Structure 1
Amino acid sequence: MNQVSKIEFIKANQLKEKPNSLEFGKHFTDYMFMMDYDGDQGWISPRIKPYEPISLSPASFVLHYGQAVFEGLKAYKTRNGDPVIFRPDKHIARLNQSCERLCIPTLDPDLMMEALTMLIDIEKDWIPEEEGTSLYIRPFVISTEPYLGIRPSHHYTFMIILSPVGAYYSDGALNPVKIFVEDEYVRAVKGGVGHVKTPGNYAASMLAQERANELGYEQVLWLDGKENKYIEEVGSMNIFFKINGEIYTPKLNGSILPGVTRDSVIHLVKDWGIPLHEERISIEDLYKAHQSGQLEEVFGTGTAAVISPVGELKWEDKIITINDFQTGDFAKELYDTITGIQYGSKRDHYGWIKVVGK
């Protein structure tokens, strides 16, 4: 392994035993990346060190004003045994966009890529090799200055931690989910922070998520915060609709997160010559498409599941059952194509895969 000279590597005295079973976000690897920001010096002291708790002042900015951003991406083992990362450049760019919106100093993309690939190279034995498994990568920035005053912090810490995760679909099949259309709470509004990944977005969504779970629904579909009629996204993924043979997805409007998997699906749909519409879609028009028999498939896109078929939507007192609660052929084809690229069984025509250590 070729270490990057400007990144310090602090070796652990003892390595952990690998877990026998995998749960999302429960187990963490031996090492993590850290780098600090000082208002006078900029980003300093990039280092890979043993995974361990961090120390924060009780007055740290992040604990009081929520000035923080994060990303989520994955590394895989290909059939040839190569460790690869899926679209890291896109995630790095989005992290910096989140930083800009939260008044956090941006990071050097080249240094982030070096840190990411060096850390994955060190921890490649933690990447599970079973079909559907991966190494989840969580880069994040928190504001650490101990000061109780509302202004951007002068001190930050950037970190990358890693967690081996099992297959999202434990039985190997794409299982449709049931989604509750939220008609009281809103996720975000244009001009806010809905288009970036910041912890407060997720904290604010939990009450609606709990209510949906109590009603027997796995996730929440959010409507726009102004008119409460236009579809935006699901709690953990973007949303697509196949209507009369054509693909529709809500247009990015400043309150919808620009998902990396969403972007990947759009590339594929266009390349396959299927009509694609990025536009405002009202829940009422979607219901009409269902009534007329034109709503053929609904699926979400995101890092965790890649493609998540939707079998049922509940909107007010109406139940919309999609494709007899069966996974659609188009969703399955998208899933097979993207995961095939990730695991190396399909050719990467788009330059989405970053091979680590080469």
Structure 2
Amino acid sequence: MKAYVGPDGEVRLFRPDLNMARMRRSADRVALPVPFDTDALLTLIQRLVELESRWIPNIQGYSLYLRPTIIGTRPNLGVTASDHALLYVICSPAGPYFRAGSARQISLLANGDVVRSWPGGTGGYKLALNYAPTLKPQQLAELQGYNQVLWLLDGKITEAGAMNFFAVIQQDENNWDIITPPLDGTILPGVTRDSCIALSAAHPSRTILPHLPETLRLHAHERTLAMSDLKQWYEEGRLLEAFTVGTAVVVTGVGRIGYEGKDIVLPEHASGRGPVARALYERIVTIQEGKFEWEDWSVVCKSA
């Protein structure tokens, strides 16, 4: 997760309760000792951020990246669950994830030859072991001119790189579908993913997202998304945009998707994001920085 400085000088965390709950589930999945109190851990993280707030760059798009970590420290070797663990938090100033800046559209290469995760595996958990097998396919995608891999499982989209994937499909002029793959055990339950679903579903009944008309209704869906669907919608002219989301990138537009030797080319936008991606990015960032109040998503770090 990240810590942000708002215009009022207050330091905030974005939906840290979801991060803590996911950490506890993930530690349990790999049989690490998990009797730690997530509320107490969050209190300690808030105090840590207060103490180290000078490291948070006061620049648009920058933050303090936080990585709560737990590792097994059983004092002997063996293929067995660890009964000891070390819990710690890494902090680092962070800027835009992609070197060209946060407005850049990325390209994806759909890959079904190797898989990032599989049913019954660990793809739905935040574990270091999920990342190493993705590095070689990522290198191969870059050699072909793509930024990230779009991971497929039996032709179905799971994630994009280490991010969650969304597609925007037009029903008609005033109704757009916002579709992301379901949490079936192969998808990481991202905090930004959950936020994008909730904000999309709230427009226009509970809030009006930036730059989107009140007459436009967004319909958020968590359902299976196959590459064949994406290709068909593209050929029909109904695929309006695609974007990826995550803590590091927030929301980033997708410019093209390589599939079966051809590219699905999405419309270019001056901001690098389509209208829905741009709206979600701006709303989430303003919530993170304390410029827009939305439910209890932004938590101010203050000592009791």
Note whether the superposition's TM-score is higher than 0.5: yes
Give the CA deviation at 1:146: 3.2
Runs of 5+ unmatched residues, structure 1: 1-72
State whether residues 76 and 135 of structure 1, in contact with CA within 8 Å, keep that contact through their aligned partners in structure 2. yes
Partner of 2:214: none
* Partner residue, 2:37: 108
| Aligned residue number for residue 67 of structure 1 | none
Give the aligned partner of residue 46 of structure 1: none
Structure 2 residue ranges without an equivalent (≥5): 171-175, 205-217
Contact 1:180-1:212 at 8 Å conserved across structures = yes
1:240 corresponds to which residue? 166
Match of 1:262 among 193, 199, 202: 193
Listed one character per residue, the Cα deviations across residues 88-127 of structure 1 (whole Å, up to 9, x for unaligned) are 1110000001011111122211211111011111111111
Among 125, 129, 134, the residue aligned to 2:58: 129
Q: Which has the larger radius of gyration?
A: 1
Q: State which of 180, 184, 199 in structure 2 corresponds to 1:253.
A: 184
Change (3 A) 1:281 1:74: same
Q: 1:313 to 1:171 in 2, by over 3 A?
A: closer
Partner of residue 338 from structure 1, selected from 284, 288, 302: 284
- Structure 2 equivalent of residue 28 of structure 1: none
Q: Could you report, residue by residue, the CA deviation over 1:144-182 in whole angstroms, capped at 9, with x for unpaired residues?
A: 123221110121101101001123466765211011111
Q: C-alpha separation between the residues in 1 aligned to 2:191 and 2:81?
A: 28
Q: Deviations over 1:305-330 (max 9, x none)?
A: 10010000001212100114652111
Instruction: Show the counterpart of 2:19.
Output: 91
Change (3 A) 1:248 1:318: same
In structure 1, distance between residues paired with 2:96 and 2:200: 25
| Distance in 2 separating the partners of 1:103 and 1:184 | 30
1:77 aligns with 2:8: no
May I ask how many residue pairs the two structures share in their alignment?
282
Deviations 1:239-277 (A, max 9, x none): 000011211111110111010000000110111151112
Residues 1-358 of structure 1: pairs in structure 2 closer than 5 A? 73-106=1-34, 107-168=36-97, 174-224=103-153, 228-244=154-170, 245-273=176-204, 274-324=218-268, 327-346=273-292, 348-357=293-302
Partner of 1:48: none
What CA distance in whole angstroms lies between the structure 2 residues aligned with 1:80 and 1:194? 38
Check whether the contact 2:4–2:288 (CA below 8 A) recurs between aligned residues: yes
CA distance in 1, matches of 2:273, 2:53: 33
d(CA) in 2 for partners of 1:337, 1:356 = 21
Task: Pick closer, same or farther for the CA change 1:137–1:185 going to 2, 3 Å.
Answer: same
Mapped contact 1:132–1:168 kept (Cα < 8 A): no
Determine the C-alpha separation between the residues in 1 that align with 2:3 and 2:164.
21
In 2, the alpha carbon distance for the partners of 1:235 and 1:169 equals 13
Q: Residue 142 of structure 2 contacts residue 148 of structure 2 at CA under 8 Å; is this kept in 1?
A: yes
> Is the CA contact (8 Å cut-off) linking 2:96 and 2:102 kept in structure 1?
no
Equivalent residue letter for 2:219: P
Instruction: In structure 1, give the amino acid aligned to 2:288.
Output: Q
Distance in 2 (CA, whole Å) between partners of 1:329 and 1:280 is 23
**In 2: Cα distance, 1:165 partner to 1:173 partner:** 12
Rounded Cα–Cα distance in structure 1 between residues aligned with 2:138 and 2:98: 21
- Contact 2:33–2:84 (CA under 8 A) maintained in structure 1: no
CA RMSD in angstroms, aligned pairs only: 1.4
Cα deviation, residue 229, structure 1: 0.7
- TM-score when normalising by structure 2: 0.89
Q: Please give the alpha-carbon distance, in whole angstroms, between the structure 1 residues aligned to 2:6 and 2:101.
A: 18
Offset from partner CA, 1:5-31 (integer Å, 9 cap, x none): xxxxxxxxxxxxxxxxxxxxxxxxxxx
CA distance in 1, matches of 2:20, 2:231: 37
Identity of counterpart residues, as a percentage?
38
